[in-house]
Chain A
Amino acid sequence: MSWLSSLILLPLLGVLVLPFLPASLIRWWANGILLAGLALAAPLWQHFDRAATGYQFVERLPWIPSLGAQYLLGLDGISLLLVLLTALLGPLASLASWNAIEDRTKEFYAMLLLLQAGMLGLFLAQDLLLFFVFFEVVLVPMYFLIGIWGAERRLYAAIKFFLYTLAGSVVLLLGIIGLYWLGTQQLPRPTFELAELLKLKLSLDAQRWLFWAFFAGFAIKVPMVPFHTWLPDAHTEAPTAGSVLLAGVLLKMGTYGLIRFSLPLFPEAAREAAPFLAVLSILAILYGALISLVQTDWKRLVAYSSVSHMGFCTLGIAALNANGLAGSVLQQINHGISTSLLFLLVGFAYERRHTRKIADYGGLAVVMPRFAFVFAVAVFSSAGLPLLNGFIGEFLILQGAFTANRAWAAFAVLGVVLGAAYLLWLYQRTMLGELRHEANRGLADLSVREWATVLPLLGLALAIGVYPKPYFAVLERPVLELVGRLAR
């Protein structure tokens, strides 16, 4: 059964039909396709065998036999969670754009659908070359999303995003080629299949070179400090849908790449590099949080908070133990949920007031109590309040970091405190107090469509926070396998 392929093909099919649709149907069609994609992906959760090792639902077709590249799709617990997150955020991002995008809607939804196909393909690919193709393919629609429908500085932000990521990924490509070449010498036939490449015996020297080549590609994508400077521009200038998918999914490609490829393929080099990674992560956590504190732009604050939160995800990876890794994957999902919520809400506010300045708001709770409630949940979830999703992930990461090195945990905890500070202060400045601007008086509260966009995320935030066990059940096997490889 070609379940996984149909996940990728469905949005592509949607794009092919799009040019022939009348303008009035485009929104319905694109949203319908993305929702159908979610409906198609959701049953994976039930059918996924939690006790099995290795990849499930595997599909294998020859793709470029003369190179040994295959069209190889498969799922394990880590990719399952990210695929489901992507399948959920796609339709939500699209739904949030219903009224926001009025110009060139056909192209807009075509780009969203292309992006969806690329993102899903990336998390499903188990062949390194196929992975790389998807890694690059997502850049193009995102470039257009930022460049056409973005805010004032969209042109600059779009090309900056593209160039930064590309600069990293060409080095990643060299790493992939190098690994492939070593593979041709040791393996019976040349291949890009991850499972085969894992059998290679690499010298420490080779591991180091390849690890850093892969690192260049993934670290820029995450982004880790000091490669983060593209992020605030891209996130701030992108339209809401673009910000949601950038923060929710695209950033995870970096951390996913580190967990999926860098750690298992080059375990010794990874052990060597872990302290360095941890230092960069802590820098990201603290620096991102401090910069967030001084932001006057609502959306930019959320963007910088991503730097800080992704720092937690990479810190969990740097810990190299089960808690850290499982926490990192879960935190990636959590960040996808809470930051998407924040971006969606910023977007809703922007649609009403057409300003992103924090100073232009204040006391919104008076006129938009429901909005303020949802925003509170989003803020608490992002700040890691117990009983909400963020807490579980951060707690596990800190636990993992503590086991690896107490100093790391000590510094990272500081980040949690700062995180609460800038988020609550943001809440206070925008929602609480008296209504300072007359323009804010008549603002309408959340509409039915807006409720529909935020409710699934609210529900998930609560569900993960209260009962995270099912997610760990899915993650247990792949994480233990990875830890086993790292310990060897």
Chain B
Amino acid sequence: MSHFYTDVDHFALLPAIILALFGCAIFLFDSLLEARSRRWQLCLILPGLAITGWQLWKQGQVGTFTAFHGALTIDPFSLFFNWLFLLTAVLVALISYRYLEIEKEHQGEYYGLVLMAQAGAYFLSTGTELITLFIGLETMSLSFYVLVGFLREKRRSNEAALKYLLLGAFSSGILAYGFSILYGIAGTTYLSDIAVAVAARPAFDPLTVIAILTISTGVLFKISAAPFHMWAPDTYEGAPTAVTAFLAVGSKIASLALLLRLFLGPLASAREAWEPLMVLAAVASLTVGNLAAVTQTSAKRLLAYSSIAHAGYLLLGLIAGNATGLQGIAIYTGAYVFMTIGAFLVLIAVHGDDIDDLNGFARRHPAYAIPMVVFLLSLAGLPPTAGFLGKYYIFLALIESGRYALALVGAVYVAVSLFYYFRLVRSMFLLPATLTVPPLPTSLGLRLALGATGLITLGAGIYPEPFLQLAARSLLK
């Protein structure tokens, strides 16, 4: 290996290479497969993910190191997020194939794009250099633009994709502008050097403030936090449900990784300047997300608004800014992955987007309806579920840092959120079936994913210790 591409560089890059290679392989082999036998693509995507997992495990054995002169950093932070991306991709692959068959859009590209999105996300959690981060973000976003519009015959899907593309490109532009200012401040694109340059200036230095404003706009858009959330309900509703799950989880936590890298890294010294912004965004997200969700008639839109509210809770963890807050973010994201995918996969099983489509669901399919109650309780943050622990740590962090009012706001919105989450429960359990619904498009993958997400959501709530240990190791550097 040459001086420009050392073994260490290769080792740090390998998971992304594997993902990209398998993605390309899927694109290639797709032409060989009949429409009926597209499920065989699972034989490519799952091993691809398994090998990626093996590489991540090997990275975990080594400990923290940097590659490409500091453009990539393998640390517990990156590993934690990469493992979450991996699990997300596995679950999304499992819940997708039957869904796509029913929607008559079972194309191999789907799986390739999932892997490409994950390869992009890999750079968001691992990158510590502005251009690497930006390219990672664009790689991921481009894959998502296509995935959202994957149901080519459906107008809603196309509309969602276009909306997401236009607004997403706009926000990326603003983010790139912010990056350029950071470069202007520091004369380098490496985050560690930028941190030094930013720290040398006062917190309210005009250039830093402009950088903070533009970068916040870009990343808050990506995690769908208010006031940059407008795209989320339409996109979530129009996208294929399996993609909505992937978007709500994969895209959001990858962007969260970017946000944390930037605001806890180079911008950490300017906390005074960005904290009020984040408080505004968090409270706005909680308010908009929770209050708008109450009036929705579509279950997908309801979950979209609730995911805006979840972005608010995650921001509260960042605002608290202490070790507990970071641990809270880790636990919250971990729980979020499983409970959100779980909730969306039940919607796939219902095969309907409206809340009314859930009517009487529990009578016909208790095996799906009962886990759904667990997911919804967890999303609302009630014990004994994983979501409770996430909220618990966030509240604890806020109280530790003396932000009692924010803790109270967050807590009160738990009660509000229960109201709309339980509208779904009400439909499933308390109301009689209103329409003759097509048979459940069930599949082995869906059942596996349901079992896994359900067990983890409930198990982590009843016996959380192993999960807490895991989270404590990940974000605390």
Which A residues form the contact surface with B (CB < 8 A)? 62-67, 104, 132-133, 136-137, 139-140, 143-144, 147-148, 154-155, 158-159, 162-163, 166-167, 170-171, 173-174, 177-178, 180-181
Q: Is B412 an interface residue (CB 8 A)?
A: yes
Determine the chain A residues whose CB is within 8 A of the CB of B392 once the complex forms: 173, 177
7 contacts between A and B (CB under 8 A): A139-B382, A140-B373, A140-B377, A159-B426, A167-B412, A174-B399, A174-B408
B411-A64 in contact (CB<8A) = no
Which B residues form the contact surface with A (CB < 8 A)? 363, 373, 377, 382-384, 392, 395-396, 399-400, 404, 407-408, 411-412, 414-415, 418-419, 422, 425-426, 429-431, 463-465, 468-469, 472
Given contacts A137-B383, A162-B422, A170-B412, contact A155 B396 (CB under 8 A): no
A167-B429 in contact (CB<8A) = no
Number of A-B contacts defined by CB within 8 Å: 78
Determine the chain A residues whose CB is within 8 A of the CB of B465 once the complex forms: 62-66
Q: How far is the CA of A158 from the CA of B469 in the complex (A)?
A: 38
Contact of B430 among A62, A147, A163 (CB under 8 A): A147
Q: How far is the CA of A133 from the CA of B465 in the complex (A)?
A: 16
B415-A167 in contact (CB<8A) = yes
* Chain A residue at minimal CB-CB distance from B431: A155
Q: How far is the CA of A89 from the CA of B68 in the complex (A)?
A: 69
Given contacts A159-B419, A167-B415, A174-B411, contact A133 B429 (CB under 8 A): no
Contact of B426 among A67, A155, A180 (CB under 8 A): A155
Determine the chain B residues whose CB is within 8 A of the CB of A65 once the complex forms: 465
* Chain B residue at minimal CB-CB distance from A167: B415
Q: How far is the CA of A399 from the CA of B170 in the complex (A)?
A: 73
Determine the chain A residues whose CB is within 8 A of the CB of B382 once the complex forms: 136, 139-140, 166
Q: How far is the CA of A69 from the CA of B408 in the complex (A)?
A: 23
B396-A181 in contact (CB<8A) = yes
B472-A66 in contact (CB<8A) = yes
Contact of A137 among B384, B396, B407, B464 (CB under 8 A): B384
Given contacts A64-B465, A163-B419, contact A181 B429 (CB under 8 A): no
Given contacts A64-B468, A136-B382, contact A147 B426 (CB under 8 A): yes
Q: How far is the CA of A139 from the CA of B385 in the complex (A)?
A: 14
A144-B429 in contact (CB<8A) = yes
Given contacts A181-B396, A181-B399, contact A162 B418 (CB under 8 A): yes
Given contacts A66-B468, A166-B414, contact A173 B395 (CB under 8 A): yes
* Chain A residue at minimal CB-CB distance from B400: A181
B412-A148 in contact (CB<8A) = no
Known: A166-B415, A177-B396. 5 other contacts (CB 8 A): A133-B383, A136-B383, A158-B430, A159-B422, A170-B415
Determine the chain B residues whose CB is within 8 A of the CB of A66 once the complex forms: 465, 468-469, 472
Contact of A170 among B363, B414, B472 (CB under 8 A): B414
Closest 7 CB pairs of A and B: A170-B411, A133-B383, A167-B415, A147-B430, A66-B468, A166-B415, A170-B414
Determine the chain B residues whose CB is within 8 A of the CB of A174 once the complex forms: 395, 399, 404, 407-408, 411
Query: A164: shortest Cβ distance to chain B, in Å?
Result: 9
Determine the chain A residues whose CB is within 8 A of the CB of B384 once the complex forms: 133, 137
A177-B395 in contact (CB<8A) = yes
A173-B377 in contact (CB<8A) = no
Determine the chain A residues whose CB is within 8 A of the CB of B468 once the complex forms: 64, 66-67
* Chain B residue at minimal CB-CB distance from A185: B400
Q: How far is the CA of A144 from the CA of B407 in the complex (A)?
A: 30
Query: B463: shortest Cβ distance to chain A, in Å?
Result: 8
Determine the chain B residues whose CB is within 8 A of the CB of A147 once the complex forms: 426, 429-430
Q: How far is the CA of A155 from the CA of B432 in the complex (A)?
A: 12
Query: B471: shortest Cβ distance to chain A, in Å?
Result: 9
* Chain A residue at minimal CB-CB distance from B411: A170
Q: How far is the CA of A12 from the CA of B431 in the complex (A)?
A: 27
Query: A191: shortest Cβ distance to chain B, in Å?
Result: 14
Q: How far is the CA of A195 from the CA of B396 in the complex (A)?
A: 21
Tell which of A62, A148, A170, A174 has the most Cβ of chain B within 10 Å. Answer: A170
Query: B375: shortest Cβ distance to chain A, in Å?
Result: 13
Q: How far is the CA of A139 from the CA of B383 in the complex (A)?
A: 11
Tell which of B392, B463, B468 has the most Cβ of chain A within 10 Å. Answer: B392
Determine the chain B residues whose CB is within 8 A of the CB of A148 once the complex forms: 429-430
Query: A214: shortest Cβ distance to chain B, in Å?
Result: 14
Determine the chain B residues whose CB is within 8 A of the CB of A133 once the complex forms: 383-384
Query: B359: shortest Cβ distance to chain A, in Å?
Result: 12
* Chain B residue at minimal CB-CB distance from A144: B429
* Chain B residue at minimal CB-CB distance from A159: B422
Q: How far is the CA of A159 from the CA of B421 in the complex (A)?
A: 11
Tell which of A132, A139, A159, A171 has the most Cβ of chain B within 10 Å. Answer: A159
B411-A171 in contact (CB<8A) = yes
Q: How far is the CA of A214 from the CA of B257 in the complex (A)?
A: 36
Q: How far is the CA of A438 from the CA of B415 in the complex (A)?
A: 48
Contact of B399 among A155, A170, A178 (CB under 8 A): A178
Determine the chain B residues whose CB is within 8 A of the CB of A178 once the complex forms: 399
Q: How far is the CA of A132 from the CA of B382 in the complex (A)?
A: 10
